[in-house]
């Protein structure tokens, strides 16, 4: 259990930005926690010039607060007049061309969405008025930190962006594979991404969070600790895009035809269940196949094995929101599914690969502002900044205000307005009227499209949430956003013992890459506020003394563990979508190979025949078997389980071939099922494969295939030294 900080521990003198605290408010502790979060890991490293300099706009205007955007009330919407936010994000949005600044490496696919449960009582969106309603979709999966040419399998958040081409215009549900985020306010987004990108003076490391600047930022931002727990978990190294969840992250609203508003969280639940790789496996996959996840998605769709997700919603009202110990507008928080169950309302299937990667996957432009009537926004300050930023980013990337005319971005319903011209205009609007109102038709009436006062988009009229906030202009963070550790603790305690060990190992690995000791110390001081055992194990793994717990703005509370937060507690037991690798040598028994392949395919798995030579083995019956891959180019890390079917002579050759030994030793170390023919025993012995429940005779085809979606976690304790 984490050490409970004493009351008022979060109140500290703030030499950096004390003037930003609002006189007459009760936000001193909250804001101090954002402005001065050094913890016990040493003071911020500043030169005399740094201390004397003031942060200003690009035009020299001094900035009083660089942490909080200007809002209409402490929990109100961000205001357009905030030139500090506008300039900061404007500059950030234009830092890179033409590659995306974040989510640069992506993979996309076309598909359909089908409503399985109508919800007219919750929303007037036409899509959800009748069961069976369908629309086309385009989905882009991505990593966040790496460049367009980086690898697929780093430890990273995965983007999960869905463009639904509805009859009322495009709906872009732009989310991630984790339900929370690092920051609470969009004004901090440039700082977050600058910290995780390659360090400015040396441009490394690529696509990695294991370095000083990232952990320096994280350890100074207590609000980031919950998301850091997700990032250090197995959620950050998915086995497949097809086997990860998606989340809208923010709290949105549903608006019914009679104007009733409900809060909503969006979830995508994969039909194949959740599965991740091991860290050592992910590292080796990146060398064997940097396009591993992209290839997996493409090949599954190409083979007709179409991945599917259920769309679920958590719906709740203002009374529920007001009763929680956390703020539902805080993007660093989840709403536990035990408190608000996820209701499934539709299913998405991806069933067509792009015809052209650049034209579709690269040029697709997602805008959180794209919502149909009946879906609306909340005052989540991170969401508010995203609504402001994305269109500007698309203009920078795609070079024109007419990016909506690119086919992948164009709506599939009629589109009319009076916007004209612009770079790369491809449409040819006719008529004299390019303004509204007008009276230019022959009868002296309005020409062109008109607004739809009844069915057109209308945002909720009330400016503030819960109806009890003054509409003052304040650069503050609401007190209800101040608890940064309760849900981070809940996440850790919700994991199995195995998953907790992976989080510990990930923290140790990442912090060991930090060269500055004070960064490691400060992060450990934050971990003590999450869980004492976690912090102790990380300290032991680093060989460092455990520092005092960092001060907090608000003491964390104990929340009940939540099983949906664990991958292993919700593991799918189906072989569907998994891949079996079968290493076959000359002289092998064809019947054994065929039985393995048949068992796998009958359960929805795919099979790859691997051979020492790409021409394929000549089997005992004298027939030549076609090989899908050559051994040296198909290491076991790309399979979910493996089998070796060899003759005595073939096994003797494998024993002398280092890639064959690695093929088996890696599969054993990565806790996978291993099938083998009796003749292959010398190869297993050389590779150090020891007998257990997951090492089976190749003739036990059904048993091997049944373990495709599993790992032998008991084996992990004998192979990987615990921390």
Whole-angstrom distance, CA of residue 558 vs CA of residue 486: 6
Q: Is 176 assigned a catalytic role?
A: yes
What is the rounded end-to-end Cα distance, in angstroms, of the chain?
Answer: 18
* Residue 252 · residue 173 · CB < 8 Å: no
Whole-angstrom distance, CA of residue 156 vs CA of residue 158: 6
* Residue with token string 């660089």: 66
In the set 68, 103, 250, 712, the catalytic residue is 103
Whole-angstrom distance, CA of residue 311 vs CA of residue 125: 15
Whole-angstrom distance, CA of residue 608 vs CA of residue 629: 7
Whole-angstrom distance, CA of residue 113 vs CA of residue 709: 27
DSSP structure string for 196-221: HSSPTTT---TT---SHHHHHHHHH-
In the set 176, 177, 370, 402, the catalytic residue is 176
* Burial class of 621 by CB neighbour count within 10 A (0 to 12, 13 to 18, 19+): exposed
Q: Is 416 assigned a catalytic role?
A: no
Do strands 579-584 and 134-143 pair parallel, antiparallel, or not at all (unpaired)?
unpaired
* Residue 169 · residue 178 · CB < 8 Å: no
Paired tokens of 56: 């200003």
Residues near 627 by Cβ (< 8 Å), separated by ≥ 6?
Answer: 584, 609, 610, 611, 613, 614, 615, 616, 617
Whole-angstrom distance, CA of residue 263 vs CA of residue 229: 26
Q: What is the rounded (10 degree) CA torsion for 436, 437, 443, 449?
A: 50
Paired tokens of 504: 């510990």
Neighbours of 536 (CB within 10 A): 15
Paired tokens of 647: 């003759």
Whole-angstrom distance, CA of residue 357 vs CA of residue 294: 12
H or E, element range at 606: strand 606-611
Residues serving a catalytic function are 103, 176
């Amino acid at each position: 259990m984490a050490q409970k900080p004493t009351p008022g521990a979060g109140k500290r003198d703030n030499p950096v930005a004390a003037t930003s605290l609002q006189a007459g408010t009760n936000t001193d502790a909250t804001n101090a926690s954002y402005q001065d979060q050094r913890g016990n890991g040493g003071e911020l490293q500043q030169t005399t010039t740094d201390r004397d300099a003031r942060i200003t706009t690009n035009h020299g205007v001094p900035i009083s607060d660089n942490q909080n955007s200007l809002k209409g009330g402490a929990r109100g919407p961000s205001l357009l007049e905030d030139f500090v936010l506008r300039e900061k994000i404007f500059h950030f949005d234009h830092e890179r061309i033409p590659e995306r600044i974040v989510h640069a490496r992506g993979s996309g696919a076309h598909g359909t969405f089908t409503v399985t449960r109508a919800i007219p009582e919750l929303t007037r969106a036409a899509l959800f008025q009748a069961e069976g309603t369908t629309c086309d979709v385009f989905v882009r999966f991505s990593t966040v930190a790496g460049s367009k040419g980086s690898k697929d399998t780093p430890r990273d958040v995965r983007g999960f962006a869905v463009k639904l081409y509805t009859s009322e215009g495009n709906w872009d549900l732009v989310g991630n594979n984790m339900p929370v985020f690092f920051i609470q306010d969009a004004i901090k987004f440039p700082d977050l991404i600058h910290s995780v990108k390659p360090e400015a003076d040396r441009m490394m490391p690529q696509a990695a969070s294991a370095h000083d600047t990232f952990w320096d930022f994280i350890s100074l931002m207590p609000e980031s600790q919950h998301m850091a727990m997700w990032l250090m978990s197995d959620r950050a190294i998915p086995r497949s895009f097809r086997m990860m969840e998606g989340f809208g992250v923010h709290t949105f609203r549903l608006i019914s035809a009679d104007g009733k508003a409900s809060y909503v969280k969006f979830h995508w639940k994969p039909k194949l269940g959740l599965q991740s790789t091991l860290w050592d496996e992910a590292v080796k996959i990146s060398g064997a196949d940097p396009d591993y996840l992209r290839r997996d998605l493409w090949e599954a769709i190409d083979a007709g094995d179409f991945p599917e997700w259920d769309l679920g919603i958590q719906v709740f009202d203002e009374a529920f929101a007001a009763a929680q110990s956390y703020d539902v507008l805080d993007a660093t928080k989840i709403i536990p599914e035990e408190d608000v169950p996820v209701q499934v309302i539709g299913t998405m299937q991806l069933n067509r690969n792009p015809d052209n990667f650049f034209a579709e996957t690269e040029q697709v432009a997602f805008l959180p502002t794209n919502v149909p009537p009946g879906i609306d926004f909340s005052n989540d300050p991170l969401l508010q900044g995203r609504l402001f930023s994305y269109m500007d980013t698309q203009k920078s990337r795609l070079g024109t205000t007419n990016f909506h005319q690119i086919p992948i971005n164009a709506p599939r319903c009629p589109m009319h307005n009076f916007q004209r011209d612009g770079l790369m205009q491809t449409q040819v609007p006719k008529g004299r009227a390019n303004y509204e109102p007008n009276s230019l038709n022959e009868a002296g009436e309005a020409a062109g499209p008109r607004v739809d006062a009844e069915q057109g988009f209308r945002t909720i009229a009330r400016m503030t949430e819960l109806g009890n906030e003054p509409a003052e202009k304040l650069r503050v963070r609401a007190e209800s956003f101040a608890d940064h550790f309760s849900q981070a603790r809940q996440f850790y305690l919700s994991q199995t013992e195995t998953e907790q060990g992976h989080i510990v190992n990930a923290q140790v690995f990442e912090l060991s890459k930090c060269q500055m000791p004070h960064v490691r110390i400060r992060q450990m001081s934050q971990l003590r506020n999450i869980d004492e055992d976690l912090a102790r194990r990380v300290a032991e793994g680093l060989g460092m003394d455990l520092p005092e717990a960092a001060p907090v703005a608000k003491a964390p509370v104990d929340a009940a563990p939540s099983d949906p937060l664990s991958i292993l507690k919700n593991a799918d037991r189906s072989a569907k979508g998994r891949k079996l690798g079968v290493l076959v040598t000359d002289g092998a028994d064809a019947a054994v190979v065929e039985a393995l392949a048949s068992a796998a395919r009958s359960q929805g798995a795919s099979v790859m025949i691997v051979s020492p030579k790409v021409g394929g083995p000549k089997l005992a019956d004298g027939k030549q078997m076609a090989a899908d891959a050559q051994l040296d180019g198909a290491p076991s890390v790309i399979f979910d389980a493996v089998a070796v079917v060899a003759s005595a002579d073939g096994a003797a050759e494998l024993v002398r071939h280092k890639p064959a030994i690695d093929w088996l030793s890696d599969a054993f170390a990565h806790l996978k099922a291993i099938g083998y023919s009796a003749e292959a025993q010398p190869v297993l012995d050389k590779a150090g494969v020891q007998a257990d429940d997951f090492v089976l005779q190749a003739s036990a085809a059904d048993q091997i295939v049944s373990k495709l979606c599993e790992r032998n976690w008991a084996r992990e304790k004998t192979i990987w030294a615990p921390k």
